[in-house]
Each structure stands twice: as C-alpha cells, then as structure tokens.
Amino acid sequence: MNLLKELIVINPRSDVAVYLQIENAFIQHIRQGRLSKGLKLPGSREMAGLLNVNRMTVVAAFNELEAQGWIELRSRQGTFIKSSLPLLAPKKIQKANSSFKIPEKAGFAYDEKKIVPVYPSDFPPTDKLIFNDGFPDPRISPAEQLMKTMRRLSRLPSQRKYLQYGGAQGTLFLRETLCAFLNETRGLLITPENILITRGAQMGLYIAASILLQPGDAVAVGTPGYDAANITFRQLGARIHNIPMDDDGMDINVLEALCKKKKLKAVFVIPHHHNPTTVTLVPERRIRLLELAARYRFAIIEDDYDYDFHYSSKPIMPMASLDHNGNVIYIGTLSKTITPSVRFGFMVAPAAFIRTAVSLRKSMDTQGDSIMENAIGELYKDGTMARHIKKSVNLYRERRDNLCTLLKTHLKDHVSFAVPDGGMSVWTKFLHADLSIVSEQAFKKGLIIKNGRGYDTDKVKYNSVRLGFASLNPAEQEKAVKILKEIISQL
C-alpha cells in the first residue's frame, strides 16, 4: 500500500485542515479510478504511520468518507472503498450536445412591458471617490459583530428550531425587541402583532402597495420624489399624482384639493429628510395629513427610513404614533443602521392589515433568515445598536458639517443647498454649470457624481443632485469637492 503514501500528499502550510486534505485526496482518486472499488484500506493506525499524521486525523477523515458513502466498514474485515459506489454523472435523457446554449430570448410569450424596468445597479468601484445617494459608511458597520452573534446563535441547541421553517412574520424575539426600541425612540405603542419584519423598507413598500392598490388606483406622492417608490407604484398599475414639495414638506393644501376631486387609495410620504430634497414634514402638516386620511379613508404610507439619523435637534414623532384611526402604515429600515446589503426592515400597521401582509410575504418570499433576525434582536437588546446609532449620528453630523463648509468655501457662487436636519446627503443645486457635463468630467478625474436627470420631470429640470456625505471622510470629501471646483472653474 505504498501507493497511498504517494497519492495522498499533505500540505502542512495549507489553510485546509489535514483531515479534509486526506478526505479530498481520497475522493479525487476514487473518482478518477486510481483507487478502485472494493479496495481494502489499511487500518487507521497503519494509515497514520504511512502519512505521518496523528491517528485521530485519519479517523476523522475516514468518518467523513464513510458518512459520504465513499468507504464502508465491514465488521471484522476492515475498511474498503465501497463497491456499490453511487454514480456521479446524472442520467442523460438524450445525447448531450456540448455546443448547446440557452437562447438569448425566451421561446414563450410574455409581455415584457408588464415589468417596469429598473436601472441595474452594481457594487461601487473601489478605485473611485463616490458621491453616492446618501448611504452609510461600511467602514463603521457593525456587520462583523452581527455575523459573530449569528455564528454563536447557530451553535446553540435552543436556537436550532430557527434553522427550520417558520415565522414568516419575523421571529417573535426580534419583533418584541423592536417593539421596545420603537416605543422608546418613536413613541409607538405597539405589540409584536403590529410588526412584520421585511427585507428592508423596499419590501415593506411593495407589500403595502400590493395589498392597497388595484390597477388604475390613485396614489399621491411628493415631487421631486423617491424613484424606487414611484417605480413600485407604476409596477402595480397605480396612477401617480404628484404633490409639490416645499421647505415644510408636502403641500397639504394641494393634497386636500386633490382629495376633493379624486378617490385616493394612498399617500406616500417620507416624513424625515424626504428623498431627494431632504426636507422634514412639519408637525402641523402631519396633523392635517392624519385628519385628511381619516376623513377620506386613504392609507398614509409613512416611509420613515431616516428617523434614526437626525442631527439638528430632535426628530419629530411619526404620524404612526398618533394614528388613532388606523390610517398609517409605518415603514422603516434596519439596513441603514447595519449596512445596506444586510436587508432588514419593518412594517408597523393595524394587526388585521399585518396578517394580510404576512400572507403576501409568504407567497413572495417564504420567510426571513431567522437566526439573523434573532442576532439583530440581540444587538438591539444589549444596546449595541443604540450605541452604534449614536456613534454614527455623531460621525455623520460632523461629515455633514464638513461637506457644507467645503461647499461654501470652494463652490460658494456655483451651488445652492440647505443644510439638512438629518439623513446622509445634501440636496445640491448647481446654479450655472450643467450637471450632466460636471458628472461626465468628474468621472474622468476619478469622482462619481450623478447627473441628476433622474429627478427631472417633463416640466422641471432641477440640475440638482444628492451629495452623499456619510460614506466619505473629511479628506475624501475635500478631494471630491476640489475636483468639482476644478471642473467648474474650467467650464
């Protein structure tokens, strides 16, 4: 059996555990026929001597190989390569044609226009500075802590049931923890039956809109408005009515006039730091909006994704916390707090509505990742998230102030903006330079900045863009603003 010694080569410097190296080598040689079916293997002690490893290492490898069905232990005879090895190649239903490829276009009929196209997004390039739309900084994300907690939970027998199916509404533990957090931070007096855990605010919006809207139904939104919400409403066949925004938020007089003419099913509002203009809906208008909703029986979809990131004074309590008539569907996200690609959010609404929402969620997406939900619950419960929010708020406030100072210093006569009360971006109007040209030239100098066209309507060309400050540190901000200055001075 010196063959084995030659075939099984162990690399002591490899990252792969030695028993796995042995196992992998065996599998490879069995598959390729070098170790034939029915072959008798030496005992673990002899094998350990041959390979110069600890006997327990060989035992571990043999156990794995046996569990996977490559080898078998015949009592009082020894260990053998299995003679009835499961075949590896799938059964072919006719001759394989290796030049065959799936055609580019489908062979069945479907209406491509049924789905509103969404601009494909990719991960940000790492070799460029980016004024993103207002995203948190992954460099301070608590993602690693979350994953550490997940790993710990996944080992606990008490958590084992959360590896199984169940809980399309989100785990009770996370919903309970969020109830406490939302009560403390937002004055929401709710119980776990009022919460559905979603994959970010976007899924909450999609579910709420799917339940509320039939094709042709009327929805009111602020303009300029949030693109992703408008796409969702269009996707569901709704008719969108644009309500102008001013410095106090949505113009409620215009909305009221619309209510008198038209049966509205829903009004979509971003009460803190409206996207894109960053204005906050003032308390008086919130009260009026609630009154209109009660009178005309429409739903307020309150997308308060930015509540936790408010810098100037205190955030304003959500309409949901005053909603005596059950008119508000309150949507929020945890992804802004954790990190964008970890998709968690919530919907708060009357319990009957939540039950319907759970049904739809289950059809769309069976359930959430329950261990991750519990891990997030732990981070909220033990104060990690509150500390992280506080830390982020302080850091982002500084970064907001720093960017505003840089804009005033270097682009004084070229841009106008209002310092936002919160959120992660400054809505910046370019006064003279054409933003499309700025965007193009900036790209050549290593800075990504949108051309702002996405916010324009038929009637208004804003020539404005959201300058995300949260994920740029002061040095990066200075570099970015100086690139803009250089471009503008040469136009």
d(CA 421, CA 325): 29
d(CA 117, CA 224): 20
Among 32, 33, 52, 120, binds a copy of itself (CB under 8 A): 120
* H/E run at residue 378: helix 370-381
Among 106, 247, 260, 459, binds a copy of itself (CB under 8 A): 106
In the complex, least distance from residue 308 CB atom to a copy of itself, rounded to whole angstroms = 11
Nearer to a copy of itself (CB atom), residue 39 or residue 395: 395
Reported residue count of the chain is 491
d(CA 488, CA 244): 30
How many alpha carbons lie under 13 Å from residue 25 in its C-beta half-sphere? 20
Contacts of 318 (CB under 8 A, 6+ apart): 186, 187, 188, 271, 302, 304, 307, 328, 330
In the complex, least distance from residue 75 CB atom to a copy of itself, rounded to whole angstroms = 17
Chain CA centroid to CA 216, Å: 30
- The site map against a copy of itself for 186-225 (x = CB under 8 A) is xxxxx---x----xx-xx--x---xxx-x-----------
Nearer to a copy of itself (CB atom), residue 151 or residue 262: 151
Nearer to a copy of itself (CB atom), residue 381 or residue 485: 381
In the complex, least distance from residue 348 CB atom to a copy of itself, rounded to whole angstroms = 8
413-432: which residues touch a copy of itself (CB under 8 A)? none
For residue 453, give the DSSP letter: G
For residue 386, give the DSSP letter: H
For residue 285, give the DSSP letter: H
281-300: which residues touch a copy of itself (CB under 8 A)? 283, 286-287, 293-294, 297-299
In the complex, least distance from residue 485 CB atom to a copy of itself, rounded to whole angstroms = 26
31-90: which residues touch a copy of itself (CB under 8 A)? 64, 67-70, 86-87, 89-90
In the complex, least distance from residue 320 CB atom to a copy of itself, rounded to whole angstroms = 7
Only segment of 102-110, 243-251, 254-262, 412-420 that touches a copy of itself (CB under 8 A):
102-110
Angle at 84 between CA 81 and CA 88, to 5 degrees: 95
In the complex, least distance from residue 48 CB atom to a copy of itself, rounded to whole angstroms = 22
How many alpha carbons lie under 13 Å from residue 173 in its C-beta half-sphere? 15
For residue 348, give the DSSP letter: E
Query: Should residue 118 be labelled a site residue for a copy of itself when binding is judged by CB under 8 A?
Result: yes
Query: Should residue 164 be labelled a site residue for a copy of itself when binding is judged by CB under 8 A?
Result: yes
328-387: which residues touch a copy of itself (CB under 8 A)? 339-343, 348-353, 355-356, 358-360, 362-372, 382-383, 387
Among 49, 135, 288, 478, binds a copy of itself (CB under 8 A): 135
d(CA 185, CA 221): 26
For residue 347, give the DSSP letter: E
Angle at 285 between CA 280 and CA 291, to 5 degrees: 140
Residue 139 neighbours by CB distance under 10 Å: 8
Nearer to a copy of itself (CB atom), residue 274 or residue 343: 343
Query: Should residue 127 be labelled a site residue for a copy of itself when binding is judged by CB under 8 A?
Result: no
